[in-house]
Structure 1
Amino acid sequence: MKSTTPVNKPVQLRTDWTKEEIQAIYDLPLMELVYQAASVHRAYHPKNEIQISTLLSIKTGGCPEDCSYCGQAARYHTDIKVQRLLPTETVLAHAQKAKQAGSSRFCMAAAWREVRDNKDFDRVIDMVKGVNEIGLEVCCTLGMLTEDQAKRLQEAGLYAYNHNLDTSEKYYDQIISTRGFDNRINTINNVRKAGLTVCSGGIIGLGETTGDRVSMLLTLATMEKHPESVPINALARIKGTPLEDLPKVEIWDMVRMIATARIVLPKTMVRLSAGRIEMSEVEQAWCFMAGANSIFAGEEETLLVTPNPGLNKDMQMLNKLGLSPMILEKKPTCEAVE
């Protein structure tokens, strides 16, 4: 088995990783891998803080894409009900409730293929302004968007834009055919040009190889600027989608992925995302030790219409583990790149 030298503190931030280097880290003996990841985590982040994020689906279902894992694709017959764009007042009420419950980041998701310059987008702009005024980090995931649309969001107070790679470039067309991997990269580039922070990660358990997982991390770790946020998702097997019969992701695969992400993306927030509902507290604790420092939580809100643990239960777990919610000291802002 390949090995690598122990990570020293402080860890050098790099954008010149090779696939072989990342694969060697991923293949480390598990205890050594977690130790190295925990060391990197403490060099760059408060050791006992977890950011609580709330994700609200503001427009649900009816998406024309064919993402094989997604129950919101119009072509699949799932139990997810189509819901038009929520009223702005409803969204802001959810955001206020989330802040009072301990969230510092509020993410709004719309099941669109791409952003269109219409009244719905104007309403999203108003939502962003309102959530920003509440004092939360504001994040959106709305599909593909242009640089001008990204600038409008930035000017409204958006802090982050989520656009996941999902998997490796090589395996991508096995999962999605209605858009290409390059479309994902183009949107991320537009987000950067507008001065927004980037949230981009992927899903494991899609039938990919470990090499595909490493390749996805390689793409993120060799960007000119690392994404500020990387969600690591385990496939949520939704009845009616092409991937509904795939096996549950093993917890040690999640731990390896999180730990490897933490080492090659040391300053990034690594988000323990979809699939957490199927994890025990012990399994989640391993993910935190491996470098995850954010979770999605909420009572009514769901993680893109898949179940999410309740906030009270999460707070009890964090208390047991000696972890505390991250507190936003000041309202975050971004500045456009000149």
Structure 2
Amino acid sequence: MSDTLQPVSISPRPGLAKASRPPLAADVARKAIRAAEVALLDERRMLTADELAELAHVPDSAVPSLAALAHEVRLSWCGPEVEVEGILSAKTGGCPEDCHFCSQSAAFDTPVKATPFLDTEEVLAAARETAELGASEFCIVLAVRGPDERTMGRILELVPLVKAETGLNVAVSAGILTADQAQRLGEGGVHRYNHNLETAASFFPRVVTTHDYAERLETCELVRANGMELCCGALLGMGESVDQRLELIEQLRSVEPAEVPLNFLNPRPGTPLGEAPIVEALEAIRWIAMFRLGLPSVILRYAGGREITLRELQIMGMTSGINALIVGNYLTTLGRTPDEDLQMLDDLKMPIGVLGKVI
């Protein structure tokens, strides 16, 4: 048999993750999707790793069916509400970590330069704008390895001020935490703490070298142990394989997040991944559905990269398992206008609400 007929490893188009086996035949794909429907909607149980792996290999023609099931699972497990969040980069650039996707790293020559912590009124003004959109969550994000004592003091000052003035739940993303810091943030009123796994443990060393995966996992455990909801997300499109995306879903299951922001790589000039291909739209829909089917009870949030990846298919993503979104701009990239997203939700008759993890 010639090499061209051996489907050992599928060479993907740019923007597609490498698969370790060929796509399922159409009839096998239909049976796999039907079996997942029975498991998740009738038996109301989590899919096994093997069941998820089979779904990951349905052909492109079956992705709309996979997405339709994911939408039904979202409605059944989480309800119809969509949670809206605004985020603010309160301390931008100059981060000592070398995350290869991030333009805020001091290790790379990017257009993003270090700026000091925003003053209190700037943070409050951003929170007020977020509240006016009907959002329920406001996340203060800092480009740091972890908070020093001065930063801890500023966070613990801001959280109750934002809550008192706007009524918003306040989330924080400030890197790796110690046990003492996690306790103080929990006691200080932080509702959710964001600490993304980003990718699978097996792929992580290709993306970050200045800290290891165990440190991320430890922070995730500290967040939950101190009464905060864990927001723990993924970034797809960095060169990881299908198997590694499935590995990431299993690792996210293990840390039991309340929320999973789903990001797609938006290549940033000057970073090691600055020339990486953009994830294809149908590929993004496939993996939105896969993350919902693998994590049926979480708040699955549209996050960075959706605009360039999905383009006019963003509305389809909302019917593929998504039940939360960040409105406005991201940390260093522009998003759609809030009005566009709110109109999308109105067109879909999706009510805005406050969400928590289904237990």
- State the TM-score, normalized to the length of structure 1: 0.89
Q: Distance in 2 between matches of 1:188 and 1:58?
A: 22
Matched, 1:46 2:79: yes
RMSD over aligned CA atoms reads 1.8
The 3 A distance-change label for structure 1 pair 201 and 280 is closer
Matched, 1:305 2:332: yes
Match of 2:264 in 1: 234
The 3 A distance-change label for structure 1 pair 70 and 281 is closer
Query: Residue 76 of structure 1: SS of its match in structure 2?
Result: coil
Deviations 1:164-214 (A, max 9, x none): 111110010000000101111000011111011111121111011111111
Does the 8 Å contact 2:87/2:139 carry over to 1?
Answer: yes
Does the 8 Å contact 2:100/2:273 carry over to 1?
Answer: yes
Matched, 1:146 2:191: no
Matched, 1:128 2:163: no
Higher helix share: 2
Query: Residue 175 of structure 2: SS of its match in structure 1?
Result: coil
Q: Distance in 2 between matches of 1:11 and 1:70?
A: 41
With 20-29 and 60-69 compared, the bigger mean Cα shift is at: 20-29
The 3 A distance-change label for structure 1 pair 284 and 146 is same
1:66-85 aligned within 5 A: 66-85=98-117
Matched, 1:277 2:310: no
Match of 2:232 in 1: 200
Match of 1:335 in 2: none
Query: Residue 161 of structure 1: SS of its match in structure 2?
Result: strand
Match of 1:336 in 2: none
User: Could you list the runs of 5+ residues in structure 2 that have no partner in the other structure?
Assistant: 1-23
1:119-268 aligned within 5 A: 119-133=150-164, 134-223=166-255, 226-268=256-298
The 3 A distance-change label for structure 1 pair 281 and 173 is closer
- Name the % identity: 32
Match of 2:8 in 1: none
Query: Residue 318 of structure 2: SS of its match in structure 1?
Result: helix
Aligned residues: 320
Query: Residue 52 of structure 1: SS of its match in structure 2?
Result: strand
Q: Distance in 2 between matches of 1:270 and 1:85?
A: 29
- 1:112: Cα distance to partner? 0.4
Does the 8 Å contact 1:297/1:310 carry over to 2?
Answer: yes
Matched, 1:56 2:83: no
Which amino acid counterpart does residue 325 of structure 2 have in structure 1? I
Does the 8 Å contact 1:54/1:98 carry over to 2?
Answer: yes
Deviations 1:260-311 (A, max 9, x none): 111121110001111122256641122111110111112xxx3111111111
- 1:68: Cα distance to partner? 0.4
The 3 A distance-change label for structure 1 pair 122 and 27 is same
Query: Residue 319 of structure 1: SS of its match in structure 2?
Result: helix
Does the 8 Å contact 1:206/1:235 carry over to 2?
Answer: yes
- State the TM-score, normalized to the length of structure 2: 0.84
Query: Residue 37 of structure 2: SS of its match in structure 1?
Result: coil
- 1:64: Cα distance to partner? 0.6
Matched, 1:293 2:318: no
Which amino acid counterpart does residue 142 of structure 1 have in structure 2? A
User: Could you list the runs of 5+ residues in structure 1 that have no partner in the other structure?
Assistant: 333-338
